[in-house]
Amino acid sequence: MRRIAVEQDIMAKNGRAADLNRERFARERTFVVNLMSSPGSGKTTLLVRTLQELKTRGDRLAVIEGDQQTTLDADRIRATGVPAVQVNTGKGCHLDAEMIMRALAKQPAPAGGTLFIENVGNLVCPAGFDLGEAKKVVIASVTEGEDKPLKYPHMFSVADVLLLSKIDLLPHLRVDLPLMMENARQINPRLKIFPVSAYTGAGMSAWYDWLRTELADVVGASPRGAVAAEAQVG
């Protein structure tokens, strides 16, 4: 009972911080993506290639990197010229909304742009923690096998997008890609699925298009709201 009460406390506190983050992101018209996956799915490699592409469009970008230890990932991001702040969780298995709030105090979210939050590599814990993001994206490498959506359903059920990564390795694997997609849709029928290779670039344009559309929604919708609000004040 005591354990459950404390868990409820933690979740309620996280929810309040996530709401504050969300209000801030709405005010600054920042599109925020929470990237989650197992360790070693190729999240950072995929993010680096995505940032390089979005930079060529002149997008405003920033990254918050979560890991138990090291600043290896933030270093890789900064090498692209995009600002990144690293959050180390120690023994913790996920980022929470207050960690994001503290990270934003060090590095503001890009107004009118996209903030990527790369969560701790974990297919369980991050699923339960709202960070105030607009979209949750789960990355699963095809090397992990078809059964992962069935065995870790919580993550796949809360996600908006599934990136099936490392498809360049498919000729060398005994994995059934259509079955992996079918298993994911069985858990979450509204999931958008993009099979991609950050190494060869295969499939990446559909992912970039999705990011472009979602960013336009956030940037396009909010200024009108802001203008209307200003008009009212005036």
Binding site for a second copy (CB under 8 A): 2-3, 6, 9-10, 38-40, 42, 67-70, 72-73, 91-93, 120-125, 127-128, 140-141, 143-145, 147-148, 150-154, 166, 169, 172-174, 199
> By C-beta, is 70 or 205 nearer to a second copy?
70
The owner of tokens 């190494």 is 199
- Nearest C-alpha neighbor of 93 from the set 57, 55, 59, 119: 119
Nearer to a second copy, 116 or 152 (CB): 152
DSSP class of 137: E
First to last CA, the chain: 53
At its nearest, how many Å lie between a second copy and the CB of residue 5? 9
Q: How far is the CB of 129 from a second copy (least distance, A)?
A: 12
What does the alpha-carbon distance between residue 178 and residue 193 come to, in Å, rounded to a whole number? 11
Q: What are phi and psi of 208, to 5 degrees?
A: -60, -40
Least distance to a second copy from the beta carbon of 70, Å? 5
Q: How far is the CB of 127 from a second copy (least distance, A)?
A: 8
The sign of the CA dihedral 194, 197, 203, 205 is positive
224's enclosing H/E stretch is helix 204-233
Q: State in angstroms the smallest separation of the CB of 190 from a second copy.
A: 19
The nearest distance, CB 142 to a second copy, in angstroms, is 9
Cα dist. 78→47, 150, 156, 170 in Å?
12, 36, 29, 30
Q: Which is nearer to a second copy, 42 or 113 (CB)?
A: 42
Check: CB of residue 123 under 8 Å from CB of residue 141. Answer: no
In the complex with a second copy, the residue whose CB is nearer, 18 or 74, is 74
Query: CB-wise, 104 or 120, nearer to a second copy?
Result: 120
Residue 26 or 177: the one with the smaller Cβ distance to a second copy is 177
